[in-house]
């Protein structure tokens, strides 16, 4: 469904320039796929950063009085 929306939006934007909209449809399809990939990579980076901070925090020696 997202690919259809991206294709439709890309075609509509490309038609404003007076073109047929095919190039815009292709770019919209590619952009929606790229957005999904970037979102997954961002989520993975956030989880990795959180895990790294937890490990670093647990490595610190506890204060002894």
CA-nearest of 9, 8, 10, 6 to 23 is: 10
CB 13 within 8 A of CB 24: yes
Please report, in tens digits, the pLDDT of each residue of the chain (65 residues total). Answer: 656 777 777 777 767 767 667 777 777 778 777 888 899 999 999 999 999 998 888 766 666 66
Q: What residues does each domain of the chain span? A: 2-58
pTM of the model: 0.55
Three-point CA angle 19, 35, 17, nearest 5° = 15
Give the start-end residues of each E strand in the chain: none
Q: What is the residue-wise DSSP string for 31-49?
A: HHHHHHHHHHHHHHHHHHH
């Amino acid at each position: 469904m997202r690919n259809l929306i991206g294709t439709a939006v890309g075609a509509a934007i490309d038609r404003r320039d007076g073109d047929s909209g095919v190039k815009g449809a292709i770019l919209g399809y590619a952009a929606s796929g790229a957005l999904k990939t970037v979102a997954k990579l961002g989520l993975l980076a956030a989880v990795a950063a959180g895990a790294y901070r937890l490990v670093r925090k647990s490595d610190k020696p506890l204060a002894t009085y």
